[in-house]
Protein backbone atom coordinates (compact mmCIF):
# COMPACT_ATOMS: atom_id res chain seq x y z
CA UNK A 1 0.00 0.00 0.00
CA UNK A 2 1.33 3.41 -0.99
CA UNK A 3 0.38 6.83 0.28
CA UNK A 4 1.83 10.32 0.29
CA UNK A 5 3.95 11.23 3.31
CA UNK A 6 4.14 14.99 3.98
CA UNK A 7 7.26 14.44 5.99
CA UNK A 8 9.17 12.41 3.41
CA UNK A 9 7.62 14.39 0.53
CA UNK A 10 7.19 11.17 -1.39
CA UNK A 11 4.90 8.25 -2.08
CA UNK A 12 5.76 5.74 0.61
CA UNK A 13 4.69 2.32 1.84
CA UNK A 14 2.54 2.55 4.92
CA UNK A 15 1.28 0.21 7.62
CA UNK A 16 -2.16 0.31 9.22
CA UNK A 17 -2.87 0.15 12.95
CA UNK A 18 -6.22 -0.48 14.62
CA UNK A 19 -6.81 2.14 17.29
CA UNK A 20 -9.50 3.19 19.75
CA UNK A 21 -10.78 6.58 18.75
CA UNK A 22 -13.33 8.99 20.12
CA UNK A 23 -15.17 12.04 18.95
CA UNK A 24 -17.61 14.34 20.64
CA UNK A 25 -20.87 14.77 18.77
CA UNK A 26 -23.58 17.01 20.21
CA UNK A 27 -21.88 16.95 23.60
CA UNK A 28 -21.64 13.17 23.71
CA UNK A 29 -18.42 11.22 23.46
CA UNK A 30 -18.65 8.54 20.83
CA UNK A 31 -16.02 5.78 21.02
CA UNK A 32 -15.23 3.64 18.04
CA UNK A 33 -12.53 1.41 16.65
CA UNK A 34 -10.79 3.12 13.76
CA UNK A 35 -7.58 2.87 11.80
CA UNK A 36 -4.47 4.96 11.31
CA UNK A 37 -1.80 4.77 8.61
CA UNK A 38 1.90 5.20 9.34
CA UNK A 39 4.74 5.88 6.94
CA UNK A 40 7.13 2.92 6.80
CA UNK A 41 10.08 5.28 6.27
CA UNK A 42 9.72 7.94 8.98
CA UNK A 43 6.96 6.30 11.09
CA UNK A 44 4.83 9.48 11.06
CA UNK A 45 1.08 9.22 10.61
CA UNK A 46 -0.04 9.91 7.06
CA UNK A 47 -3.37 10.78 5.48
CA UNK A 48 -5.07 8.09 3.39
CA UNK A 49 -8.50 8.86 1.94
CA UNK A 50 -9.79 5.27 2.23
CA UNK A 51 -8.84 5.18 5.89
CA UNK A 52 -10.60 8.48 6.57
CA UNK A 53 -13.72 7.07 4.86
CA UNK A 54 -13.46 3.88 6.88
CA UNK A 55 -13.18 5.86 10.12
CA UNK A 56 -16.20 8.00 9.22
CA UNK A 57 -18.20 4.86 8.58
CA UNK A 58 -17.15 3.37 11.92
CA UNK A 59 -17.96 6.62 13.70
CA UNK A 60 -21.36 6.76 12.03
CA UNK A 61 -22.14 3.20 13.10
CA UNK A 62 -20.99 3.91 16.69
CA UNK A 63 -23.05 7.09 16.81
CA UNK A 64 -26.17 5.27 15.63
CA UNK A 65 -25.53 2.56 18.18
CA UNK A 66 -25.05 5.09 20.99
CA UNK A 67 -28.24 6.90 20.01
CA UNK A 68 -30.04 3.63 19.36
CA UNK A 69 -30.73 4.64 15.75
CA UNK A 70 -31.53 2.27 12.90
CA UNK A 71 -28.58 0.97 10.90
CA UNK A 72 -28.21 1.78 7.23
CA UNK A 73 -28.30 -1.90 6.30
CA UNK A 74 -31.60 -2.28 8.17
CA UNK A 75 -33.13 0.54 6.12
CA UNK A 76 -32.05 -1.31 3.00
CA UNK A 77 -33.58 -4.52 4.38
CA UNK A 78 -36.94 -2.74 4.76
CA UNK A 79 -36.97 -1.62 1.12
CA UNK A 80 -36.11 -5.11 -0.05
CA UNK A 81 -38.43 -7.00 2.30
CA UNK A 82 -41.52 -4.99 1.36
CA UNK A 83 -40.47 -4.31 -2.25
CA UNK A 84 -41.04 -0.61 -1.84
CA UNK A 85 -39.01 2.32 -3.18
CA UNK A 86 -37.43 5.05 -1.08
CA UNK A 87 -39.76 7.72 -2.39
CA UNK A 88 -43.06 5.76 -2.04
CA UNK A 89 -42.12 4.70 1.50
CA UNK A 90 -41.42 8.32 2.43
CA UNK A 91 -44.86 9.22 1.03
CA UNK A 92 -46.62 6.41 2.90
CA UNK A 93 -45.13 7.71 6.11
CA UNK A 94 -46.13 11.27 5.32
CA UNK A 95 -42.50 12.36 5.35
CA UNK A 96 -40.81 14.60 2.79
CA UNK A 97 -40.50 12.61 -0.42
CA UNK A 98 -36.68 12.71 -0.37
CA UNK A 99 -36.34 11.62 3.26
CA UNK A 100 -35.54 7.92 2.74
CA UNK A 101 -33.20 8.76 -0.12
CA UNK A 102 -31.20 10.97 2.21
CA UNK A 103 -31.09 8.23 4.84
CA UNK A 104 -29.88 5.66 2.34
CA UNK A 105 -27.20 8.14 1.28
CA UNK A 106 -25.99 8.22 4.87
CA UNK A 107 -27.94 10.98 6.64
CA UNK A 108 -28.78 10.05 10.22
CA UNK A 109 -32.50 9.85 10.96
CA UNK A 110 -33.98 11.52 14.04
CA UNK A 111 -34.92 9.22 16.92
CA UNK A 112 -38.72 9.23 16.31
CA UNK A 113 -38.26 8.52 12.59
CA UNK A 114 -35.71 5.86 13.39
CA UNK A 115 -38.09 4.14 15.84
CA UNK A 116 -40.82 3.99 13.20
CA UNK A 117 -38.42 2.40 10.71
CA UNK A 118 -37.25 -0.14 13.27
CA UNK A 119 -40.81 -1.17 13.96
CA UNK A 120 -41.59 -1.50 10.25
CA UNK A 121 -38.65 -3.85 9.84
CA UNK A 122 -39.84 -6.36 12.44
CA UNK A 123 -43.60 -5.86 12.36
CA UNK A 124 -45.19 -6.69 9.02
CA UNK A 125 -48.74 -6.21 10.28
CA UNK A 126 -47.85 -2.64 11.19
CA UNK A 127 -46.43 -2.07 7.73
CA UNK A 128 -49.42 -3.67 6.05
CA UNK A 129 -51.80 -1.28 7.83
CA UNK A 130 -49.60 1.64 6.91
CA UNK A 131 -49.65 0.60 3.28
CA UNK A 132 -53.39 0.00 3.24
CA UNK A 133 -54.33 3.23 4.97
CA UNK A 134 -52.11 5.49 2.90
CA UNK A 135 -52.28 3.83 -0.48
CA UNK A 136 -53.77 6.90 -2.18
CA UNK A 137 -50.46 8.68 -1.54
CA UNK A 138 -48.54 6.36 -3.86
CA UNK A 139 -49.06 4.95 -7.34
CA UNK A 140 -51.32 1.97 -7.90
CA UNK A 141 -48.35 0.02 -9.28
CA UNK A 142 -46.15 0.72 -6.25
CA UNK A 143 -49.01 -0.21 -3.91
CA UNK A 144 -49.75 -3.51 -5.61
CA UNK A 145 -46.08 -4.49 -5.87
CA UNK A 146 -45.49 -3.86 -2.19
CA UNK A 147 -48.73 -5.52 -1.07
CA UNK A 148 -47.80 -8.64 -3.04
CA UNK A 149 -44.38 -8.75 -1.36
CA UNK A 150 -45.93 -8.21 2.07
CA UNK A 151 -48.50 -10.95 1.59
CA UNK A 152 -45.81 -13.32 0.44
CA UNK A 153 -43.95 -12.72 3.69
CA UNK A 154 -47.12 -13.41 5.67
CA UNK A 155 -47.60 -16.73 3.91
CA UNK A 156 -44.09 -18.05 4.35
CA UNK A 157 -43.80 -16.77 7.89
CA UNK A 158 -47.20 -18.16 8.80
CA UNK A 159 -46.45 -21.65 7.58
CA UNK A 160 -42.85 -21.95 8.35
CA UNK A 161 -41.42 -19.49 10.78
CA UNK A 162 -37.66 -19.26 11.09
CA UNK A 163 -35.71 -21.45 13.49
CA UNK A 164 -34.95 -18.39 15.58
CA UNK A 165 -38.59 -17.38 15.89
CA UNK A 166 -39.51 -20.99 16.57
CA UNK A 167 -36.95 -21.28 19.35
CA UNK A 168 -38.21 -18.03 20.89
CA UNK A 169 -41.76 -19.30 20.80
CA UNK A 170 -40.79 -22.67 22.22
CA UNK A 171 -38.73 -21.13 25.03
CA UNK A 172 -41.56 -18.76 25.94
CA UNK A 173 -43.98 -21.66 26.12
CA UNK A 174 -41.72 -23.97 28.11
CA UNK A 175 -40.76 -21.41 30.74
CA UNK A 176 -43.07 -19.58 33.10
CA UNK A 177 -41.20 -16.33 33.62
CA UNK A 178 -38.47 -15.28 31.27
CA UNK A 179 -37.03 -11.80 30.72
CA UNK A 180 -35.72 -10.58 27.37
CA UNK A 181 -32.19 -10.71 28.80
CA UNK A 182 -32.47 -14.36 29.86
CA UNK A 183 -34.19 -15.30 26.60
CA UNK A 184 -31.28 -13.93 24.58
CA UNK A 185 -28.78 -15.94 26.58
CA UNK A 186 -30.75 -19.19 26.24
CA UNK A 187 -30.87 -18.66 22.48
CA UNK A 188 -27.13 -18.16 22.44
CA UNK A 189 -26.39 -21.32 24.40
CA UNK A 190 -28.78 -23.25 22.16
CA UNK A 191 -26.91 -22.00 19.11
CA UNK A 192 -23.55 -23.00 20.58
CA UNK A 193 -24.50 -26.46 21.80
CA UNK A 194 -26.49 -27.29 18.68
CA UNK A 195 -23.33 -26.71 16.65
CA UNK A 196 -21.22 -28.70 19.09
CA UNK A 197 -23.56 -31.70 19.12
CA UNK A 198 -25.00 -31.76 15.61
CA UNK A 199 -22.35 -29.83 13.67
CA UNK A 200 -24.96 -27.47 12.23
CA UNK A 201 -26.13 -24.16 13.64
CA UNK A 202 -29.70 -23.83 14.82
CA UNK A 203 -30.05 -20.23 13.58
CA UNK A 204 -28.89 -18.57 10.40
CA UNK A 205 -29.01 -15.18 12.12
CA UNK A 206 -25.89 -13.86 13.78
CA UNK A 207 -25.93 -12.49 17.28
CA UNK A 208 -24.11 -9.33 18.26
CA UNK A 209 -21.76 -8.61 21.14
CA UNK A 210 -23.75 -6.00 23.04
CA UNK A 211 -22.68 -4.64 26.40
CA UNK A 212 -25.03 -7.05 28.20
CA UNK A 213 -23.93 -10.12 26.28
CA UNK A 214 -24.90 -11.79 23.00
CA UNK A 215 -28.07 -10.40 21.42
CA UNK A 216 -30.19 -11.42 18.45
CA UNK A 217 -31.20 -8.00 17.16
CA UNK A 218 -34.69 -8.78 15.82
CA UNK A 219 -35.64 -10.61 19.00
CA UNK A 220 -34.45 -7.63 21.01
CA UNK A 221 -36.67 -5.24 19.09
CA UNK A 222 -39.65 -7.51 19.36
CA UNK A 223 -39.53 -7.70 23.17
CA UNK A 224 -37.71 -4.54 24.23
CA UNK A 225 -40.87 -3.06 25.76
CA UNK A 226 -40.68 -5.63 28.57
CA UNK A 227 -37.36 -4.21 29.77
CA UNK A 228 -36.25 -6.25 32.79
CA UNK A 229 -39.70 -7.78 33.28
CA UNK A 230 -40.82 -11.23 32.17
CA UNK A 231 -42.24 -11.44 28.67
CA UNK A 232 -45.97 -12.02 28.66
CA UNK A 233 -47.20 -13.11 25.30
CA UNK A 234 -50.71 -14.50 25.11
CA UNK A 235 -52.15 -17.06 22.69
CA UNK A 236 -49.03 -19.06 21.94
CA UNK A 237 -49.49 -22.54 20.54
CA UNK A 238 -47.24 -25.42 19.58
CA UNK A 239 -48.50 -25.22 16.02
CA UNK A 240 -46.10 -23.98 13.37
CA UNK A 241 -43.01 -24.49 15.46
CA UNK A 242 -40.28 -25.25 12.98
CA UNK A 243 -37.95 -27.35 15.15
CA UNK A 244 -36.85 -30.99 15.00
CA UNK A 245 -37.43 -33.27 18.00
CA UNK A 246 -33.72 -33.11 18.66
CA UNK A 247 -33.74 -29.33 18.71
CA UNK A 248 -36.69 -29.30 21.10
CA UNK A 249 -34.87 -31.74 23.33
CA UNK A 250 -31.78 -29.55 23.32
CA UNK A 251 -33.86 -26.48 24.22
CA UNK A 252 -35.46 -28.44 27.08
CA UNK A 253 -31.99 -29.16 28.44
CA UNK A 254 -30.87 -25.56 27.98
CA UNK A 255 -33.90 -24.48 30.01
CA UNK A 256 -33.13 -27.10 32.63
CA UNK A 257 -29.48 -26.14 33.12
CA UNK A 258 -29.42 -22.45 32.27
CA UNK A 259 -33.05 -21.37 32.73
CA UNK A 260 -32.73 -21.61 36.50
CA UNK A 261 -30.36 -18.62 36.58
CA UNK A 262 -31.35 -14.98 36.41
CA UNK A 263 -30.71 -12.95 33.27
CA UNK A 264 -27.92 -11.12 35.08
CA UNK A 265 -26.11 -14.33 36.03
CA UNK A 266 -26.49 -15.64 32.49
CA UNK A 267 -25.12 -12.36 31.21
CA UNK A 268 -22.03 -12.74 33.39
CA UNK A 269 -21.62 -16.31 32.18
CA UNK A 270 -21.53 -15.17 28.55
CA UNK A 271 -19.10 -12.39 29.49
CA UNK A 272 -16.67 -15.00 30.75
CA UNK A 273 -16.77 -16.90 27.47
CA UNK A 274 -14.41 -16.45 24.57
CA UNK A 275 -16.77 -15.60 21.63
CA UNK A 276 -18.28 -12.50 23.25
CA UNK A 277 -14.87 -11.36 24.51
CA UNK A 278 -13.24 -11.78 21.12
CA UNK A 279 -15.98 -9.79 19.40
CA UNK A 280 -15.57 -6.95 21.89
CA UNK A 281 -11.79 -6.64 21.75
CA UNK A 282 -10.73 -3.02 22.18
CA UNK A 283 -14.07 -1.93 23.67
CA UNK A 284 -14.45 -0.76 27.25
CA UNK A 285 -16.94 -2.28 29.70
CA UNK A 286 -20.48 -1.20 28.99
CA UNK A 287 -19.61 0.29 25.61
CA UNK A 288 -22.27 -0.09 22.98
CA UNK A 289 -21.36 -2.34 20.08
CA UNK A 290 -23.14 -4.06 17.26
CA UNK A 291 -20.22 -6.23 16.25
CA UNK A 292 -21.23 -9.70 15.14
CA UNK A 293 -20.09 -12.64 17.23
CA UNK A 294 -18.63 -14.72 14.43
CA UNK A 295 -20.17 -18.16 13.93
CA UNK A 296 -16.69 -19.65 13.63
CA UNK A 297 -15.83 -18.37 17.12
CA UNK A 298 -19.02 -19.85 18.57
CA UNK A 299 -18.24 -23.10 16.78
CA UNK A 300 -14.65 -23.32 18.04
CA UNK A 301 -15.58 -22.41 21.61
CA UNK A 302 -18.49 -24.81 22.09
CA UNK A 303 -16.72 -27.64 20.27
CA UNK A 304 -13.91 -27.20 22.76
CA UNK A 305 -16.35 -27.16 25.70
CA UNK A 306 -17.93 -30.38 24.47
CA UNK A 307 -14.53 -32.07 24.27
CA UNK A 308 -13.24 -30.69 27.54
CA UNK A 309 -16.30 -31.92 29.46
CA UNK A 310 -16.40 -35.16 27.47
CA UNK A 311 -20.05 -34.55 26.66
CA UNK A 312 -21.89 -37.45 25.09
CA UNK A 313 -25.44 -36.23 25.42
CA UNK A 314 -27.40 -33.14 26.40
CA UNK A 315 -27.50 -34.07 30.09
CA UNK A 316 -23.74 -33.57 30.24
CA UNK A 317 -24.24 -29.85 29.64
CA UNK A 318 -25.01 -29.49 33.33
CA UNK A 319 -21.33 -30.04 34.27
CA UNK A 320 -20.36 -27.03 32.20
CA UNK A 321 -23.10 -24.85 33.68
CA UNK A 322 -22.18 -25.78 37.24
CA UNK A 323 -18.54 -25.04 36.54
CA UNK A 324 -19.31 -21.68 34.97
CA UNK A 325 -21.45 -20.72 37.90
CA UNK A 326 -18.94 -21.71 40.56
CA UNK A 327 -16.08 -19.99 38.73
CA UNK A 328 -18.07 -16.75 38.78
CA UNK A 329 -19.72 -16.91 42.17
CA UNK A 330 -17.98 -19.47 44.39
Cβ-count burial 292-304 (b if 16+ within 10 Å, e if not): ebebebbbebbee
Nearer to Zn ion, 3 or 109 (CB): 3
- Give the x-and-dash track for 41-80 against Zn ion (CB under 5 A): xx--------------------------------------
Number of Cβ within 10 Å of residue 221's Cβ equals: 17
User: For 225, which DSSP code?
Assistant: G
Angle of CA points 234, 232, 179, to nearest 5°: 150
Q: Which of the residues 15 through 44 are near Zn ion (CB under 5 A)? A: 39, 41-42
> Helix, strand, or coil here: 196?
helix
Stretch that binds Zn ion, among 3-11, 81-89, 144-152, 267-275 (CB under 5 A): 3-11
List all residues 6 or more positions away from 100 whose beta carbon is below 8 Å from its beta carbon. Answer: 75, 79, 86, 87, 89, 90
- Of 1, 2, 7, 244, the one binding Zn ion (CB under 5 A) is 7
Nearer to Zn ion, 12 or 187 (CB): 12
Q: How far is the CB of 209 from Zn ion (least distance, A)?
A: 36
Nearer to Zn ion, 42 or 173 (CB): 42
Q: Under the phi-then-psi rule, with left for phi > 0, alpha for psi from -120 to 50, and beta for the rest, what region is 199?
A: left
Nearer to Zn ion, 7 or 133 (CB): 7
Nearer to Zn ion, 7 or 139 (CB): 7
Q: Is 278 in the site for Zn ion (CB under 5 A)?
A: no
Interacting residues toward Zn ion by CB under 5 A: 5, 7-8, 39, 41-42
Amino acid sequence: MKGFCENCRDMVDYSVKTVNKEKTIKGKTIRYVGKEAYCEECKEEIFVAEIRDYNLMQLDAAYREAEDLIKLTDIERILERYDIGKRPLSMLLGWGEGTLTRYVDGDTPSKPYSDILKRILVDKAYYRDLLEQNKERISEVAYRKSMTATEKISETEGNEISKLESAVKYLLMQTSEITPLALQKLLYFAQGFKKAFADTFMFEEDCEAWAHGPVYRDVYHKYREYGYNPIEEGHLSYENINLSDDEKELLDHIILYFGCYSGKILENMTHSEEPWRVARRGLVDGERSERVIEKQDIDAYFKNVKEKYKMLNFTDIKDYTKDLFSKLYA
